[in-house]
Structure 1
Amino acid sequence: MKRAFPDGAADERGVLTGFLDWQRATVRRKVDGLPSNLADHALLDTSPLMTVAGVVSHLRQTEHDWFAGSFPSLANEPFARQPDGGWQPGGRAIADLVSVYETECAQSRRIVAGLTLDAMQEFTPPQFTPVSVRWILTHLIEETARHLGHLDILREQLDGARGY
């Protein structure tokens, strides 16, 4: 996916989906070129799941939870929530994790394209109140950007790669 800022004159949907796609594309940029043996390397003793592979796996699960999980009738397959939030990638290669993440992002885009920004979740976990597509898009921008910060730090510490 090519990174491109949303058009400065875009409508609300274009701005929200454009900034989320920018963040999504940056995930691949942060991972490209990482030696595969470093993807599962934990740097924080207190957070052993905070690895490049763990972050990418978690981002895929987050996309799945918020889009396929909120609109199961529009999902490609039955919704499956992982109790660990996707933080345990199960030894999968980083290239596979990125591919699965990008496939999940494509499904999320397709789901959002068929809904208005005001559409409310079809399914809401019992501990939450229903939210709109607008809220979900904004939350995913925040969540993805937050974890890109983690990827920035992990990547620089693992192999010295820097850049946005």
Structure 2
Amino acid sequence: MPLPRTRPDFTADERSQLVGWLDLQRSIVQWKCEGLSDEDARRSVLPGSPLMTVAGIVSHLRWAEHCWFQVLFLDHPAAGNPQFSGVEDADFTAEGIPLPQLLAEYDRQCAASNEFIATHALDDIGRNRAYKAGSASLRWILFHMIEETARHVGHLDTIRELLDGETGHY
């Protein structure tokens, strides 16, 4: 179930603000996909970036959540995550996966990330020593995921307007 588009309270504690801002960006991803056909979700409108499609961004964000919270922080196996396949930008490819399925997978991954976030302290350090980023604190990862998701929300704004003229900001 997609998250509501609400900002965290002005006086909320640090954890509530970090998760709240990340959840807001995640919900905007879902909003930017509303009413979009599967065909348009795969249409490339940026000649220099053929993988930068709505479907590609949703796929990438799903795998970024998995990468940072499960693989790098918890040191779970990277199996299945295309970011670790050795193929550049493989996480942006979502051939044969309908947009509603991509969004459902993203939603489930975000929920799993939030369950994990709730059980760890912001100062906890990642466990995966195979990668330098595996030693980041949960706080650092949350800031990074806010930045990562918000940057791609900006891409979705632009792509959606170029696809069908749909605009809107929060």
TM-score when normalising by structure 1: 0.92
Question: 1:150 — aligned with what?
Answer: 155
Aligned residues: 161
Question: 1:115 — aligned with what?
Answer: 120
TM-score when normalising by structure 2: 0.89
Structure with the bigger percentage of helix: 2
Q: Percent of aligned positions with the same letter in both sequences?
A: 45
Structure 1 gaps, min length 5: none
Q: Work out the CA distance in 2 between the residues paired with 1:36 and 1:60.
A: 17
Contact map agreement 1:63 1:104 (CA 8 A) in 2: yes
**Superposition RMSD in Å:** 1.6
Instruction: Trace 1:1-164 onto structure 2 (pairs within 5 A).
Output: 1-72=3-74, 78-80=77-79, 81-82=81-82, 83=85, 84-128=89-133, 130-164=135-169
The amino acid of 1:47's aligned partner reads: S
Contact map agreement 2:72 2:133 (CA 8 A) in 1: no
What secondary structure sits across from 2:102 in the alignment?
helix
Structure 2 gaps, min length 5: none
| Superposed CA offset, 1:103-140 (max 9, x none) | 00001001111100000001144344611000000000
TM-aligned CA distance change 1:31 to 1:43, over 3 Å: same
Q: Work out the CA distance in 1 between the residues paired with 2:129 and 2:155.
A: 28
Contact map agreement 2:124 2:137 (CA 8 A) in 1: yes
1:71, distance to aligned residue in structure 2 (A): 3.5
